[in-house]
Structure 1
Amino acid sequence: MLDWLRLIRATGLFTILSNIMAATVAATYAEGNLDPKLIVSLLLQGNRMNLLWVALASCLLYASGMIWNDIADIERDRELHPRRPLPSGRISLITAYVVAAILAVASLLVASLVGSYGFYGAGIVLSLALLYDFAGKHVPYLGSLNMALVRFAHALFALLALGDLAYFKMGVLAVVGLFGADVAQDIPLSAAAYPLILGGYVLGVTLISELESRRGHRWELAFGGAILFAAVIAASVRLVTAHWIGSLQQMESYLLVVAGLFLGLGILGLLLYRVLRPWIDAVRTGRKALVGPVVGAALSGLVLLDALVATAFHPLAGLAILALYPVFRLTGRLIRMD
């Protein structure tokens, strides 16, 4: 069982859940509403099982993608990581093929329970993941963009968890509007903030992770980190310019303003502490052995980034996501990939 948990990178499932939480919070409160009950009512609106189906489909997509990733890398792993479940033979290649295929099909079937948008949305995420596993990862820079698009597309897919389909359409139209398309004036472009921030962060992480498997230059490590921290800065700007600051001040809820900012800045500080130090050490020394710790720290920072973005849209929302972080860290220690 432990080998299967390692094969699917079970720890990463917590980042999938935090992505869903951040995406739904950002979309729900993009227009300035502060009612904490609003997101609950939306999740219970229409088909009350939507949240479960989206979360389950997302986890199946992730697990399938991780297995296909190791299937594609098995020859390389036999040389570089012989103790992993597939190259060591503890899980047979045929079994991995069958399970990966079953998980992929199951993800589409579960997503279809949300409706046609769910089926096609999951299909896009799965297609992008398979493209990365079998082709994209071998192309410098473009492979990193490919992986960023996987998480970007999933952030939009996650909006289907909200009972009102209008939020999914709003997120898609907001993204399209940011790229110059003519969309309705009542579409808040801030609804595109989270998918873009997440995509930028993952782009930076993947650019850095490329350097684990190929020869690279120090400037590439610096460039990847710059993109990663640009995404963090964008989330921080969203926090300090949050609409709820002015709204709560008008209601004279100064204590909640201070608490929200304290929470957000605390999350930001922890994120920078976790990621900035190993990145600076790696850039300063240029040692390839330090790239892995940077990637590991940045991946663990995904939950913190999600909590930061959620706090930028609602002063209390980050707490729920932040609760996942210690569980994520503990699981990461128990289920380590060799």
Structure 2
Amino acid sequence: MTLQAVQQSTETLHGKVGRKSVIIGWLKLVRVPNLFTVPGDVIVGACLAAGEFNNFFSTTTALTIAVSLCLYISGLILNDWFDIETDRVDRPFRPLVSVTVYPPIALLVGVSFIIIALCIAICIGKMTALVAGAIAFAVVFYNWKARKIAILGFIVMALCRGLNVLLGATGTISALGNDVLTAIPSVVIIAAGSIALYIFFVSVIAKNETRGIPNLAMRLSVPVSLAGGLFALNYTVGVSWLGIFSCVAVTFAVANAVLFIAEGKMPERIGRLISYLILVQTVALIVVGHGVSDAVIGVAILFPLANAAGCWFYGS
């Protein structure tokens, strides 16, 4: 599609649905509530790699978060673009189906975000570029093929989140002048695995959000896997009462959200479980940092922001 054609299509679309509707359509397309769950992955990786939980924010961290957000947004856009035919039946309110966002333009924007992310990652360091490239590949592969193949889609989705934590670690390690993957501490790998495991089981449930409430065993898998991952992290760095209490509290919150679901409330609960990832990130920082720190506060404050955005936009 030529630039002139894109401009003409945009003008036509604005004429039909209005500029305000187009803006709202884009905000829905990128799942605004979910965007608040992205910086925490990077911050967890950065803090755990550096062993520093106060004065944690730097230019490198900000750039790494920008890379992560660009890749995440591209994934959301491509998700709806590849799913447009299914959404015509199951989710006719989605922006691309209702044409509040013009599909070819959405595809162009989605690809552009991947290119921008990779360019920024290259500027940060070789290791960051390598991990960002892996995430970009996983994002495209997931939306194009993986999600259509039973368990493979869940694995790739979880891998994206785990790699996102490693992305944060690589940015910090590159800034410290050590641009090799072997420099990533084992505690970062465990935290990335815990977050990936949580997203894996949330993805399993989300896959069936339009088909009713999943069975009890499937729902139990979310809090059980989360508890296992967080307590493994706690054990690795040295058990503390605050760490144990935090792990129990977030596991209870997740269990309450996933076990008691009223009919017709699945999409809302999936959105809540995704936002709870911020609490999981916060607990990981409390456990490894042995207490409340600037990083804990910085990530925790994203939770009410995600919930506020969730009042206006869907998150699943």
**TM superposition score normalised by structure 2:** 0.81
Aligned to 2:271: 296
1:6 CA displacement: 1.1
- SS of corresponding position for 1:233: helix
Amino acid in structure 2 at the alignment position of 1:59: L
Structure 2 residue aligned with 1:195: 192
Q: 2:176 corresponds to which residue? A: 164
What letter corresponds to residue 44 of structure 2 in structure 1?
A
Matched residues in 1 for 2:224 and 2:147: separation?
22
SS in 2 for 1:141: helix
- CA distance in structure 1 between the aligned counterparts of 2:135 and 2:306, rounded to whole angstroms: 23
Distance 2:50 2:238 in 1: 13
Tell whether 2:309 aligns with 1:309.
no
Range moving further from structure 2, 315-324 or 12-21: 315-324
Which residue number corresponds to residue 91 of structure 2? 81
Contact 1:205 1:228 in 2 (8 A): no
Contact persistence 1:68–1:100 (CA under 8 A): yes
Aligned residue in 1 for 2:157: 147
Corresponding residue number in structure 2 for 1:209: 206
Q: Give the conservation status (yes or no) of the 8 Å contact 1:279–1:294.
A: yes
Give the equivalent residue in structure 1 for 2:17. Answer: none
In the aligned structure 1, how far is the partner of 2:146 from the partner of 2:247? 33
**Counterparts of 2:213 and 2:94, CA distance in 1:** 25
Is the contact made by 2:234 and 2:287 (CA closer than 8 Å) also made in structure 1? yes
Deviation at 1:268, TM superposition (A): 4.3
Alignment partner, residue 80 of structure 2: 70
Out of 26, 47, 69, the position equivalent to 2:48 is 26
The answer on whether the counterparts of 2:43 and 2:61 sit within 8 Å (CA) in structure 1 is no
Once the two structures are superposed, the pairs formed by residues 1-80 of structure 1 within 5 Å of their partners are: 1-29=23-51, 36-37=53-54, 40=56, 49-80=59-90
Using the TM superposition, give the Cα deviation of residue 296 of structure 1 relative to its aligned residue in structure 2, in angstroms: 2.1
SS in 1 for 2:47: helix
Query: Whole-Å Cα distance in 2 between the matches of residues 15 and 23 of structure 1?
Result: 14
Deviation per CA, 1:117-168: give whole Å up to 9, x if none.
Answer: 2222211101101111111111221110110111111211111231225486
Question: Does the CA-based 8 Å contact 1:201-1:229 persist in structure 2?
Answer: no
Q: Report if aligned partners of 1:11, 1:331 keep a CA contact under 8 Å in 2.
A: yes
Q: Which moved more, 1:92-101 or 1:328-337?
A: 328-337
State yes or no: 1:222 paired with 2:217: yes
Matched, 1:275 2:254: yes
Q: Secondary structure at the residue paired with 2:150?
A: coil
Answering whether residue 311 of structure 2 is matched by residue 336 of structure 1, we say no
Whole-Å separation in 2 of the counterparts to 1:264 and 1:166: 33
TM-score between the two structures when normalised by the length of structure 1: 0.76
Structure 1 match to 2:136: 126
Deviation per CA, 1:14-64: give whole Å up to 9, x if none: 1110111112222233xxxxx655x64xx65xxxx3222211111110111
Corresponding residue of 1:248: none
Residues 116 and 142 of structure 1: CA distance in aligned 2, closer, same or farther (over 3 Å): same
Aligned residue number for residue 5 of structure 2: none
> Which stretch shows the higher mean deviation, 225-234 or 79-88?
225-234
233, 241, 245: which is aligned to 1:265? Answer: 245
Matched with 2:102 is 92
Residue ranges of structure 2 left out of the alignment (5+ in a row): 1-22
Instruction: Note the aligned Cα RMSD (angstroms).
Output: 2.8
**Displacement of 1:267:** 6.9
Seen in structure 2, the aligned counterparts of structure 1 residues 164 and 200 have a Cα distance that, compared at 3 Å, is: same
- Cα separation, 2, equivalents of 1:241 and 1:103: 37
CA distance in 1, matches of 2:190, 2:179: 14
2:152 partner letter: L
The 8 Å contact of residues 47 and 169 in structure 2, kept in 1 or not, is answered as: no
Matched residue of 1:91: which SS?
coil
2:112 to 102, 125, 132: 102
Change (3 A) 1:224 1:24: farther
